[in-house]
Structure 1
Amino acid sequence: MRTDAGKGVLMRRTVLLGVSILGIVALTGSAASASGVIDFSTRTSAVCAEFTDAVGLYEGNSVTMLGVVVGTVERIESSGDSVVVTMDVDDSVRLPADVGAVTLSSSIVTDRHVEFTEPYREGPELDRTNCIPLDRTRTPLGISDTLDAVTELASDLLGPADATGAREDILGDTLRSVDGSLRGSGAQLNAALKQLAELVGEPADRDTTVRRLIDNLDGLIDTFAVSWPDVAKLLDNLKAGMITLSEFTQAFGGAVLLTVDFIPPLVRTIAKYDDKVYALADQLIPVVDVALGRIGDIKDILEQVPTVSDNLTTMYDSDLQSGRLIYHPPRFEIDTNSPNEICALLNTYSPTCSANQQRGDVIDVGLVQLILGSAGWR
């Protein structure tokens, strides 16, 4: 058994130990507050996004990714036709470079929050110094926009009003027409719905197929959205092609009508002159056959026509209104061993020969001058 003195010593030791622990905790907290070294808060950085509007979104609202809060809205600023929302987002949250942002609300009476569209998987990350552009953000329609759309739809269904404000009963006539068309077909519709139910089967069994169909449809819609400029150009070209085809069919229809009017006289004319036409054709066929055999020669002749035409043009003097013809009389050459004697003889008729000739030289004499000189022409 412990004595009273021992119990007192043990109690004193326990009190001293408790006071020491409290002192250490207090000193640690003071040092942490003074130096700021111990910081259990999460590091964040700013991410901004452009929205068409910020209805229902306020500073301090949450920012989520897949339903998990990853930050808060810090600032909302107007920028021309859009709104820039600046958010504090946890640095540990990695965002893809093409991430989008939408504003959502769980009900029509609660504030909206910002939701990033997709988490990071691979590839480049978002540069947080640049805002998410307007084409990658979406905001839901407000109740006023929805009511305006419903009003416009109702006006379109009711049809335009006349000067007195009365409208044609287009919707009523349509419903009455549908009612008249379906009257008496209840049994057939019931049988068709039963067959459709048997074809679909248990909805739970078709869940995977329906999900896959929705995913494929979503991929197809995304492909159309990305490639919409090419699709729009294709539709424009298709529209232009259909307009051209329509114009061609109209012209072709007119040509057919003219042909209908033209064929009977042509038939009568052929029946009247068929013997002469056939005889002429018998004469033309051999000529055509020969011409086809000479198609290369004909081609060569036609290729020479432009050159010949140009030459004929240069041979005509428009100022003198006469042809440009230059006549060069013929000349002949005599090879002789006695050039000086031959030149002296030729010069008696036409002084065209040089008397200073060497043995073996060729003498060039004008033939016409020589003949005319021998006849006495000087």
Structure 2
Amino acid sequence: MKLLDKKTAFDTVRLGIFIVVTTVATALLAVTIGNISFNQTTKYRAVFTDAVGLNKGDDIRIAGVKVGQVDKIALYQNTLAMVTFSVDSDQIVDTSTHATLRYRNLVGNRYIALTDGVGGGERLKKNGVIPKERTTPALDLSVLFNGFKPLFTALTPADVNQFAFEVIKVLQGEGGTIESLLAKTASLTTTLADADQVIGDLITNLTSTLQIVSQRQQNFSQLLVNLQQFITGLSKDITPILNSVGSINSLNTKTAGLLQQTRVPIKADLDKLRITASTLDDTQSIWVKTLQNMPTKLNSMTRTASYGSFFNFYMCNFDGNVTLPLGTRIPVAYDNNSARCQK
């Protein structure tokens, strides 16, 4: 008995340790995936002439390092956008700080970059506003890439992505120089010149396709915005998703065990059911005819028993059960409503 108690206590301790470790690991995973920060933050606001594509939860960065996130986006003075964002309290945002809306990648994800102005200034108070004169909206990629349309039609997707990303980085001031961009363009142009005939045929064949894509430009932009919102929603629901995955795994395990236990009895029942169905099918004409003639025969037997002397018994009613070969029991009952049987 003492050995059993010790084993139970040991198993309980092991279970407790497993639960604690699993909970801590899940929490760390949720914090990492959701980019959750526990630093003390200060809220500020910025006025943009255009904040399309920016969503709640997008990054606030200083020198490429995330220091906060977007909290709210609202219409301001009917033509502007007021963006409310939080920044770590140890980061200084002053009256010279400039806010720029930039592309994080070619899919359309955006973030706000904060840069210091010339000469510095006084530190903004909580909920302080960066005016539109010190904010810059994101690049219009549609106008930018339309200028490179003839170039892109003959490049591989990898080359297009690399070249487009370099263009964005240069124009946003994130790296590279105009000279390197021109060198890259010259290299691509030289490559294209070597395949002039191929490019000509390709442009001719894709003219109608490019026109259709250009006409659907707004729909494509909306698709990117909706995709960003979808990804943001998944990021917020990461904890329920992880919990549901664990529950589904547990359900699959239990279902597999249940099917394994009932597989043999179910197979035996199906085999017997197949035999019964085959027997009923083979004798269908017999039992169907018997059931059809049963009322007539019972009425004849009732009249004979009531008015003749052909039987040594008189039966008013009976009931019972009929047991089939497979063990199924069918109840059977009969009532005679003649005057002789009335009490």
Which protein has the larger Cα radius of gyration, Structure 1 or Structure 2?
A: 1
| More RCO (CA 8 Å, sep 6+) | 2
Per the normalisation by structure 1, the TM-score is 0.28
